[in-house]
Structure 1
């Protein structure tokens, strides 16, 4: 597979929004009707992540075809977990908003593998109806832990990668 994973630039924002839209449509087509609703993630999320240096894209030559945000922890969503505890309490990175323009091409797994090669301790979460994301996380070595609750009150399945 060709392409490069790189930090997003301001010129990538329209493409990132298109990738988010494609991911939203895919979620709906697979029965995930309640994740990424109400305009989430918004352009403001992408702009904030870009300004922080946290927005990454997979560029296969014609612009971004996948994206994710990688932020330093701690994340307040992960302060409390029900079920299995986190694998450790060491400083960690957080992966949010992984999205691909097209599914089934291995782009999400490629981005996750790249992330896990870069950082030794990463936490992530996903919706219970987002089975494709659950499978991608598990394929890349993330271990399913308990449940965390987002700021909007919705539960998410928590995952942890430790190298």
Structure 2
């Protein structure tokens, strides 16, 4: 398995993985990714900005994540806690998902490990990520990988009833 930058030719497989994730989240009663986000346009934008990476096994995309070095406006205010770092020297992980056949087989862990390597190569000191409070598998994985729960953030651009996320950070 290798991780590489996503290309437009990967879109069909990426959207299949999104549907796997949407179905799993719905089955687990997690109100995340249930309203048409993320969609094809989001991933095209990620590809054009070179922030989307795919986990590839024998030319099949089995997972992906977005890694952004830009400060995330949703992370400017944190409630019921505080970030581990005060400076904007972090990578943000968004839109991480894996193909259903690879659940619990280390694919998401590989993407997180790649994110850490990517951050270090770019001289950044931490990684930030958020997830829905009911997304227990993701929360457990983050905590197992050494991410610390820092507080609550509100996603900008979402309705008030759907914008609260648990924020995590890991120092590198």
Q: By the TM > 0.5 criterion, same fold?
A: yes
User: 1:114 and 1:140 mapped to 2: Cα distance?
Assistant: 12
User: 1:92 and 1:62 mapped to 2: Cα distance?
Assistant: 30
Give 5+ residue unaligned stretches, structure 1.
Answer: none
Query: Superposition pairs for residues 97-108 of structure 1, below 5 Å?
Result: 97-102=95-100, 103-108=103-108
Query: Superposition pairs for residues 25-64 of structure 1, below 5 Å?
Result: 25-32=23-30, 34-64=31-61
Deviation at 1:62, TM superposition (A): 3.2
- Normalising by structure 1, report the TM-score: 0.94
Does the alignment pair 1:113 with 2:113?
yes
Mean Cα deviation higher: 112-121 or 64-73: 112-121
- Normalising by structure 2, report the TM-score: 0.89
Identify the residue that residue 77 of structure 1 maps to in structure 2.
Answer: 74
Identify the residue that residue 12 of structure 1 maps to in structure 2.
Answer: 10
Give 5+ residue unaligned stretches, structure 2.
Answer: 120-124
Identify the residue that residue 158 of structure 1 maps to in structure 2.
Answer: 167
**Matched residue SS, 1:35:** coil
RMSD: 1.1
Structure 2 contact 26–34 (Cα < 8 Å) conserved? no
After superposing on structure 2, the runs of 4+ consecutive aligned residues of structure 1 that deviate more than 4 Å are none
User: 2:127 and 2:142 mapped to 1: Cα distance?
Assistant: 11
- Deviation by residue 1:99-119 (Cα, 9 ceiling, x = unmatched): 011211111111101211231
